[in-house]
């Protein structure tokens, strides 16, 4: 019996591959292989010993481990986590996991291999990262292509796995080249960083060909945690007290102060897209914000409507916006709530068609029972509302995914 009940369809807007150290190095062009750092699990729940054991076993879990995971049955999502999860990095095992999970489709994001493509080096001397590697445009986009080859390969044998490519927006012309490559590689969505890449707004006219191409090809753009620096500027943590620990007990992942402002990046990104007229110019463009929460969405819609209505009297750019921002976003965007956010309340405060189910498999943040977590808020809603959340809103963004 699968984890997901068979009384409705479930489309999962968030899952991950747990990359082995050479995940994108193996797919990189020769000139970049020695420049792209291996995947680093330092800021995670995965130990070096776990990774080493898998690498020494030929990049596979042992037969006994796989059999133990399969024996979990419908408890797979509760007990199969991180790099030890069934199908964490092996595509054949992932297909077995999909059988056991029971989801119709599942977006698949990277976990740790977007460091070089998305590295934010604004204001840093010579654009050098912590390893002393100079992040040139060529390296940034060389790592992007390697990542997208790897993701395409991982998702290539199971149509239920919807591969998510990455495209940094720092260099518009190079972004277009890699977008063409990602589309030809069969990737079904494009994850973009949600900060001002290249010191420009995502609504800058230099990026308009990028949004137009996505719109014409029916490829949604996605934002996801990790698409912008996880941690606040160090000055906000300087309070004269001992350093704060992150949620895993270390210091390099999300801390309490980081979590309370995590929404600011995606909210700013979406707001700039609206105010710069991107959704207005490209009404067929679709997008989603994933694993960045959704409690901020209703207020953003109200604020954008108010700002455009009021400031359009003095701002010529805003006067060109004909559809209300809230209408644009209801038609063209969707958002995944965190498991602790009351999705029913969010629907009432904004719109039924804005929110998506997500499992975050195999990350521990997805909880041991993501459906159950959301059901506690949806228990009194009718079946049509539940179907919107679990499937139809996903299919609004990905209409070709229906099975």
Assess if residue 250 is contained within a domain: no
- Residue 234 falls inside a structural domain: no
User: Which CATH number characterizes residue 68's domain?
Assistant: 3.20.20.140
247 occurs within a structural domain? no
Q: Report if residue 288 sits inside a domain.
A: yes
In which domain, by residue range, is 305 found? Answer: 11-225+262-401
Check: CB of residue 384 under 8 Å from CB of residue 1. Answer: no
This prediction has a pTM of 0.94
User: CA 327: distance to chain centroid?
Assistant: 23
**Contact, 165 vs 137, CB < 8 A?**
no
Angle, helix 297-311 to helix 264-275, in steps of 10 degrees: 30
Tally the domains of the chain. Answer: 1
Residue 112 maps to a domain: yes
Domain for residue 374, yes or no? yes
Buried b (16+ CB within 10 A) or exposed e, 199-232: eebbbbeebbebbebbbeeebbbbbbbbbbebbe
Does residue 243 sit within a domain? Answer: no
In the beta sheet, which residues pair with residue 105? 11
- With respect to residue 256, please indicate whether it lies within any of the assigned structural domains: no
Structural tokens at position 156: 């290539």
The CA–CA distances, whole Å, from 75 to 85, 167, 361 equal 12, 35, 13
What pLDDT tens digit does each residue of the chain (403 aa) get?
899 999 999 999 999 999 999 999 999 999 999 999 999 887 677 888 899 999 999 999 999 999 999 999 999 999 999 999 999 999 999 999 999 999 999 999 999 999 999 998 765 544 555 556 788 999 999 999 999 999 999 999 999 999 999 999 999 999 999 999 999 999 999 999 999 999 999 999 999 999 999 999 999 999 999 998 877 788 888 888 887 876 666 666 788 888 898 899 999 999 999 999 999 999 999 999 999 999 999 999 999 999 999 999 999 999 889 999 999 999 999 999 999 999 999 999 999 999 999 999 999 999 999 999 999 999 999 999 999 999 999 999 999 999 9
């Amino acid at each position: 019996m699968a984890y997901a009940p068979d009384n409705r369809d479930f489309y999962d807007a968030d899952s991950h591959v747990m990359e082995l150290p050479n995940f994108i190095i193996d797919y990189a062009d020769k000139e970049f292989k020695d420049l792209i750092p291996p995947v680093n699990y330092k800021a995670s729940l995965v130990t070096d010993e776990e990774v080493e054991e898998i690498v020494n076993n030929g990049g596979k879990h042992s037969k006994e481990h796989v059999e133990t995971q399969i024996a979990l049955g419908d408890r797979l999502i509760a007990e199969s986590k991180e790099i030890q999860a069934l199908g964490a990095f092996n595509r054949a095992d992932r297909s077995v996991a999909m059988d056991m999970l029971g989801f119709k489709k599942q977006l698949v994001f990277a976990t740790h291999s977007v460091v070089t493509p998305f590295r934010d080096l604004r204001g840093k001397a010579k654009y050098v990262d912590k390893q002393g590697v100079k992040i040139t445009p060529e390296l940034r986009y060389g790592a992007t292509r390697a990542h997208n080859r790897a993701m395409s390969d991982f998702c290539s044998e199971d149509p239920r796995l919807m591969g998510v490519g990455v495209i940094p927006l720092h260099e518009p012309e190079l972004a277009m080249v890699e977008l063409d490559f990602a589309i030809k590689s069969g990737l079904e969505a494009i994850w973009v960083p949600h900060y001002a890449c290249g010191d420009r707004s995502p609504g800058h006219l230099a990026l308009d060909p990028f949004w137009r191409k996505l719109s014409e090809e029916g490829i949604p753009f996605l934002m996801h945690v990790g698409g912008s620096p996880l941690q606040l500027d160090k000055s906000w943590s300087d309070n004269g007290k001992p350093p704060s620990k992150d949620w895993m007990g270390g210091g390099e992942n999300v801390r309490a102060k980081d979590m309370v402002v995590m929404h600011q990046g995606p909210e700013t990104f979406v707001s700039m897209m609206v105010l710069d007229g991107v959704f207005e110019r490209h009404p067929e463009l679709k997008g989603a914000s994933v694993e960045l929460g959704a409690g901020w969405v209703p207020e953003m819609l109200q604020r954008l409507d108010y700002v455009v209505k009021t400031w359009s009297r003095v701002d010529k750019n805003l006067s060109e916006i004909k559809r209300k921002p809230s209408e644009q976003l209801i038609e063209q965007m969707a958002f995944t709530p965190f498991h602790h956010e009351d999705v029913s309340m969010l629907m009432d405060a904004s719109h039924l068609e804005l929110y998506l189910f997500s499992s975050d498999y195999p990350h521990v943040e997805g909880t041991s029972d993501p459906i159950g977590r959301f059901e506690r808020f949806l228990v009194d809603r009718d079946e049509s509302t539940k179907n919107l959340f679990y499937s139809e809103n996903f299919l609004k963004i990905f209409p070709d995914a229906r099975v």
